[in-house]
Every structure is written in structure tokens, then in C-alpha cells.
Structure 1
Amino acid sequence: MDLLAWLRDSDPALRWQVERDLAGEPPAVWEATRARIASEGFGARLLALQDPDGQWAGGAFFPAGFRGGEPQPWTATTWTLNTLREWGLDAGALSGTAELLAQNSRWEYGNLPYWGGEVDCCINAWTLANGVWLGADVAGIASWFAEHRLPDGGWNCEWVSGSARSSVHSTLNAVKGLLAFETATGGTPSARAARLAGEEYLLERGLFRRRSTGEPIAPWVTEFGYPFRWRYDVLNAASYFRDADRPDERMAEAVALIRAARQPDGTWLQARTERGRVWFEVDVPAGQPSKWLTLFAARVLDWWDAR
């Protein structure tokens, strides 16, 4: 199979990244493809679903009217912004959204204002990244991370319930948000120190082992699935370290796990999919070759092998 041709035959949200990161196309090529996200395919469909008040599905983290009794829905404002940002949509396509959300959107927790964040580490990480992307003032959230880091170096969304041990899920999402803040603004010394401490938390565990016993954390560390959403796995983690451009030999075994999951035809399979309402599907069912996962895995290996 011509892997690049297979990957190029995709939505602009995926294709431009293939052109830039795997095919080595000049900027004029991939920038033109990236610009199409706002007017074609997945990106245009999500933009068309935005409510007049700036939200999606009438809510900040959950759709309006959500009362539980079903899996986490993925249609509300934060999840949709995460998706559009991660796909590379130009923030100009959402001009005025930051102001609308400041006026109209409140967190389901405590009715707190949207750009102020709340108490959940992952929610705050996404709000930090989305805020700097859209031009909102989210510096207070960056400071929050420095103040709420746990003694072992990371974060846990269950800290409000008394947890004093960090979670790989929460820590990875936190460092992603802090990296976005630092990249966009230059960051602050305290936020950078917090991010580096979170990286060390993950690296000390080789991205997938328990520090106490050396055993794998759980089977899901090698169950790759797109969209990543909040979930941790070694591909998601290694993709972060690629974005941060921090190759570290402590990642070597995790990278080997990613390499071992490559199929004979050069693809990676969708291992899991999340339950819950979506606007529309953007990847294949479990068990099928995933273009998204193949993109992420191939560029991690390219980066690692070139270090």
C-alpha cells in the first residue's frame, strides 16, 4: 500500500498534517490545505453547529439538559473547541467566540465564568490551551497549575476529593495545556517549572510503568484510540514529548511499544472508541486501520529516529 497516498486521501484537518509532518511538503502546500478546514469537511461541519451565544450544544462541558444516566457526551463547548484547535483551525474562523463565551458560558461546577476555569485539572488544561488560541486572558489558570501541583510532581483531577497521588491522565493533559500557554505567550517561570515537573513525573515512569513496582500501569497504556480526548496512552504521551521536542532515553521502551503496534502494511489500528454522543464520527471503528493514529504514530517514530 502507498501509505502516504492513503493518508492524503482524507479530510483537510488530517491531510495538512500529513503533508507537513510526513510528506515534507513546502509551507505553501500544507498551509493551503490547512486553510480549507474552516470551509470544508469536519471543521466546517463543527463551525456550523456553533450556537449564537458562542457555545456548542448549549453548555460548557456538558450539553444543555444533561443530567447523567448516559456516557459522557462529546458535543459541548469545551470538547468542540479542543477538537477544532487540535485540528489546526485558524483562530480567526472563531472571531468573537472568546468574548461570547465570557458573556454567556458558565461551568456546570459552581456556575463559574468560562475563562476563569474551575477545579478539574483536565478542564483547566483545555481551557488554558483554548484560551490562548482564541486570545482570552487565561493567565490565572496557568498560575493555578503551579499552585495545585501535587508533591509527587503531577496533578490529579480527584484532588478535590482528597487524592494526593498524581494521575497520568491528569498530568498529561496539564502539561499539554501549559505547553500551549508557554508557546503562545512565552509563559512564566512558575508555569514552566510546573510543566517540567509534570514531564519528569511521566518520564520517571517511562511513560507507562508504575514507579513503585516497575509493572505496567494498566493494559490501556497501549490501547491507542482516536480521538484521544482525556485518555492517556503511550502514543498520546509520546506525541506530547514530540510537540515539546524533548526526546529522553527514558521514553525508549514506550516508543518501542508504539513501533511494535505497527501493522505489516504500515498502519496502526484503532484499539478502542469512546461511548457517548458525538456530532459525527471522525475516525474508524475499533479494529480497523486508523489514519489519525497512523499519522500520530508515524511522526513520533520519525521524530524519535531523527533525534
Structure 2
Amino acid sequence: MNPVLEKNVLDWLLDSDPSIRWQVMRDVTDAPPDEVAAERARVAREGWGARLLELQDESGTWAGDVYNPPYRGVTFTLDLLQRLGIDPAADETRRAIAKVHDLRADDWGGDPFFAGETEPCVNGRILGEAAYFGELDYADRILERLLADELGDGGWNCEAPGNSNVSSFDTTICVLEGYLDYENAVGATPAITEARRRGEEYMLERRLFRRKSTGEIIDKQFVNFGFPPQYFYDVLRGLEYFRASGRQPEERMREAIDLVRDKRQEDGRWLLDTRYREWGGLFFTLDEEVGEPSRWNTLRALRVLRWAERGGF
């Protein structure tokens, strides 16, 4: 990228919420760790992170339930707080998580929230949230379910029939992220690492967005980038997972990497292609509109391309 253009993009990214600034500092500009930590600490006290914490009610929920309404229930709100990178050890965060710890999910048979439920797409995210926020008392239960729910093609699918071997990218990415968050929190284990590798192969055999049988794009959603992704998959989310996992780029990722590169606008930024809002939307829009430049997609794309280019792509 042109140096002047690159500076303009970085200045634009840094002129934003603390949740974006600290990740730009860590992943793009290589700021000193103490400066990154100081900026990250602001997420719980100001901006979008603080706004979300303030919306929690006394019962511990954000909209009256652990899951519904989608995008506003506890599951989705914790997912967003995690993606904002809120410090899990901050006093403000711990007060919020203490309330969630005591929640009982009526729709899940009265079990504690962090014990999860039955669908792997939900359990993958809850495992990731439990690991991130240090609430792992029930992790073994979720892990047992997820390992049992893996399908023959290496991935996962919510509400899959008993004899099904057809996985879903949407569900599989939720499980893979949850596994990775767990291993980052407690260390790698052979069973989980092997399950992650099988899930990764499921995605890589399809080049991250194409049908294995025909080579056609599986779903146009996969090539449209939205944030926050919630439980929806897209190519950028898939590449972000591989980057975070420490895996090196490989040939089966090339087309997906090129897709991200091709979606860069002439001004060096990426657009918000879509917003997942069919069921009521977010509490607030993170200052982004569909079709307009997106700081979140630009941040995510820049760090994916940085990873890819370091790996020779």
C-alpha cells in the first residue's frame, strides 16, 4: 500500500473506540506492550465496552434471557464483549460476569449459563466465552458434548439428524473458535487439538467457501463481511481463526486470501458488506453502516493480510 494511504488508514483506525485502537496497536502498529495494555484497559470504562456493561440488568441478562432475543441475549453480548477485547480481569468485567455466573437458563433445563446447552453452535461460543472470562467449572461437560457432536466429515452442524455427515461452516467456526479459546486458556490437549485439525480440514477441503463437490460458492454470505459475526461464517472470520491459531497460510487458503485483498477499496479501507440483524439487531451499531467504510473489517483484513504476507501469500 502507498505509505501516505497506509498512514491515512491507520490514523482513521486509531481515531476510534478503545476496542479498535488497542487491537490496531497490538496487531498492526506493534506498539509497546505497556501502551497496548493501557489502551485495552479503557474498553471496560469507556466507549462500546462500557456501554454494553451498563446495559446489563440486575438479573445478569442484557435482554431478559440467556439467548433470546438473538444479538441481545447473554450469549451474543458476551461474544461481542470478547471481540471488543475487554479485559476479563477488569473490575467492571468481573462484576458483570459474577451476575452471569449465577444465571439459570430456563430454556436449558435450569442449568447454569456456563454449563451450555445441546446445540454445538451455541456450545462452541459458550466454551469460548467461559475460557475468555475464566468460568471453566463446566467446561468438561461442554467439551464432552462437542466431541460427541462432531460429524463424519470433520465439522459440526446444529440439529443435525442422527445419521448426518453434513456439517455447517456457521456451526463449525463457532466450535473451532471455542476450542481455540479453551486451549489458549488452559493449554493444548491431544483430543481437542486433533478435533480442531479435523474441523480445519473440513474448511480447507472446501477452500474456506466453496462446495467440495462442484467448486461453487456455498453461500453468498461467505464472501460478504459483517461485524460482529455472531454465529455466521464468512471468509474473513475463517482466516481470522487460522491467523489466531498460529497456523501458517497454505495453498488451500490462497483464493480466500486473494478475496480479502480484492475487496480493499481504492482508499485502502474495507466496507461493511452486511449486518446480521434479522431478529432485532444490536443494541447499537458500532458506528458502522452497510456499504460504508468499516473500521472493524479494515482492522480484521489488515491483520489477516499481514499474517498472509509474512507467510508468503
Q: What RMSD, in angstroms, separates the aligned Cα atoms of the two structures?
A: 1.7
User: Is 2:237 the partner of 1:236?
Assistant: yes
Q: In 2, are the aligned partners of 1:142 and 1:181 still within 8 Å (CA)?
A: no
Residue equivalent to 1:156 = 157
Which whole-Å deviations, capped at 9, do the CAs of 1:95-147 have from their partners, x for residues lacking one? 25555334323152444331221111111011101111222221221222111
Select between 114-123 and 296-305 the one with higher mean Cα deviation: 114-123
Q: TM-score, normalised by structure 1?
A: 0.92
Which whole-Å deviations, capped at 9, do the CAs of 1:217-252 have from their partners, x for residues lacking one? 122221111111111111110011000121222101
- Cα shift at 1:160: 5.5
2:298 corresponds to which of 294, 297, 302:
294
In 2 relative to 1, CA 109–160 (structure 1 residues): closer, same or farther, beyond 3 Å? Answer: farther
Residue equivalent to 1:281 = 285
SS of the residue 2:159 aligns to: helix
Paired with 1:30 and 1:173, the residues of 2 have a C-alpha distance of: 27
Q: In 2, are the aligned partners of 1:143 and 1:191 still within 8 Å (CA)?
A: no
Select between 33-42 and 189-198 the one with higher mean Cα deviation: 189-198
- Cα shift at 1:38: 0.8
Residue equivalent to 2:113 = 114
Q: TM-score, normalised by structure 2?
A: 0.90
Residue equivalent to 1:78 = 75
Q: In 1, are the aligned partners of 2:208 and 2:238 still within 8 Å (CA)?
A: yes
Residue equivalent to 1:53 = 59
Residue equivalent to 1:259 = 261
Paired with 1:283 and 1:168, the residues of 2 have a C-alpha distance of: 28
Q: Return the letter of the residue paired with 1:169.
A: D
Residue equivalent to 1:95 = 94
- For structure 1, the residue ranges without an aligned partner over 5 or more in a row are 64-72
Residue equivalent to 2:146 = 145
In 2 relative to 1, CA 284–162 (structure 1 residues): closer, same or farther, beyond 3 Å? Answer: farther
Paired with 2:287 and 2:198, the residues of 1 have a C-alpha distance of: 33
Which whole-Å deviations, capped at 9, do the CAs of 1:156-203 have from their partners, x for residues lacking one? 012258643100111111100000001101143212211111011101
Q: In 1, are the aligned partners of 2:272 and 2:294 still within 8 Å (CA)?
A: yes
- Cα shift at 1:94: 2.4
1:270 corresponds to which of 262, 272, 275:
272
Q: In 2, are the aligned partners of 1:270 and 1:287 still within 8 Å (CA)?
A: yes
Paired with 2:169 and 2:32, the residues of 1 have a C-alpha distance of: 36
- For structure 2, the residue ranges without an aligned partner over 5 or more in a row are none
Paired with 2:143 and 2:49, the residues of 1 have a C-alpha distance of: 28
Select between 146-155 and 110-119 the one with higher mean Cα deviation: 110-119
Paired with 1:303 and 1:188, the residues of 2 have a C-alpha distance of: 25
- Cα shift at 1:85: 1.2
Residue equivalent to 2:171 = 170
Summarize the alignment of residues 1-80 of structure 1 with structure 2, pairs less than 5 Å apart: 1=5, 2-63=8-69, 73-80=70-77
Q: Return the letter of the residue paired with 1:33.
A: E
Residue equivalent to 2:122 = 123
Select between 159-168 and 145-154 the one with higher mean Cα deviation: 159-168
Which whole-Å deviations, capped at 9, do the CAs of 1:2-59 have from their partners, x for residues lacking one? 1100010000011111111111211122211110001111011111111223222221
Select between 286-295 and 133-142 the one with higher mean Cα deviation: 133-142
Greater than 6 Å deviation, 4+ residue runs = none
Q: In 1, are the aligned partners of 2:118 and 2:145 still within 8 Å (CA)?
A: no
In 2 relative to 1, CA 126–115 (structure 1 residues): closer, same or farther, beyond 3 Å? Answer: same
Q: In 1, are the aligned partners of 2:44 and 2:93 still within 8 Å (CA)?
A: no
SS of the residue 1:56 aligns to: coil
Paired with 1:99 and 1:306, the residues of 2 have a C-alpha distance of: 41
Paired with 2:272 and 2:61, the residues of 1 have a C-alpha distance of: 30
Number of residue pairs aligned between Structure 1 and Structure 2 = 298
